[in-house]
Amino acid sequence: MLDNADLGKLILRVTLGGLLLFHGIAKLFNGIGFIESQLASHHLPTVLAYGVYIGEIIAPLMVLLGYHTRIGALIIIFNMIVAIALVHGHQLLALSSNGGWALELQGFFLFNALALVFLGPGRYKLKS
C-alpha cells in the first residue's frame, strides 16, 4: 500500500531536483561567465563560480535520487541565497509585471529545499 506522505516527498524531490538540474545542465553547456562576472562585480574570487556546479548539478541529483537528501537540500539553500544576494537582491520585495513575486522561481527552489531539510527523503530513495 502506498504511503501518501512518502509519495508526496518523492514528488517534491523529483520536482525540486529535476527543475534545478536543468539550470545546472544549461551552465555545463553555456558556461559560467555570467556568474564569474557577478562575483567579480562584488569583489569576490571568480573561482567561486565553479560552486554552481555543486549547487545546480550535484545537489539536485542528491535530492532527486534521495541520496543524503537533507545535505543536498542544504546545498541548494546556500546556492539560492548566494544567487539572490549576487543577482536578485534588488528584487527581494518587488512584484513582476504580472503581479507575482519577482523572485518566484528562486523562492520556489529555496523554500522547497527548506521543506526537504525538515521532511527528509521519504521511503522511496537510494539507500544511504
pLDDT digits (tens, 9 = 90+) for 36-70: 999 999 999 999 999 999 999 999 999 999 999 99
What is the mean predicted confidence (pLDDT) over 78-106? Answer: 94
Q: Residue 78: give the domain boundaries.
A: 4-119
- pLDDT for 2 equals 61
Residue 14 lies in a domain: yes
Residue 70 lies in a domain: yes
C-alpha pair distances (Å), 15 with each of 19, 37, 76: 6, 29, 13
Q: Residue 127 region, left (φ>0) first, then alpha (ψ -120 to 50), else beta? A: beta
C-alpha cell at 61: 541529483
Residue 112 lies in a domain: yes
- pLDDT for 127 equals 74
What is the mean predicted confidence (pLDDT) over 26-37? Answer: 97
Residue 78 lies in a domain: yes
Q: Does residue 21 carry a pLDDT above 70?
A: yes
pTM of the predicted structure, to 2 decimals: 0.94
With 0-12 CB in 10 A as exposed, 13-18 as middle and 19+ as buried, what is 88? middle
- Count of structural domains within the chain: 1
- pLDDT for 128 equals 61
